[in-house]
Amino acid sequence: MYAIKGIYDGNNFKLEEPIPVKEKYEVVITFTKPIETKDLRKQKMLKFFGAWNNEDVEIINEIVEERANFSMNRD
C-alpha cells in the first residue's frame, strides 16, 4: 500500500508527491481534514467573537502574521 499526499480544491486533485508505481492499482481516496483558508479563519473569528467586523479581523490577522516568526533569527 502506498500513501501519497495531495490537495483537493473542490474540483481537482493536486498531488504533492510523485506516484511511486507505474502499474494499475485500486485507489481509495480519504479526506483527512479541511485546509483552513484565511477567509474561513476570518469567518470563524467573526462568528466566535461576534462584535468584530471585517476590518478588526484584518488587523488581528496582520498582527498574527507579523509575530508568527518573531523569535526567528534573534539572539
Predicted confidence at residue 22, as pLDDT, reads 86
Predicted confidence at residue 74, as pLDDT, reads 65
What is the three-class DSSP state of 9? coil
pTM (predicted TM-score):
0.42
Whether the Cβ atoms of residue 73 and residue 66 lie closer than 8 Å to each other: no
- The Cα 5–Cα 32 span in angstroms is 10
Domains of the chain by residue range: 6-67
pLDDT digits over 14-56, tens only? 988 888 888 898 989 898 887 777 777 777 777 777 777 778 8
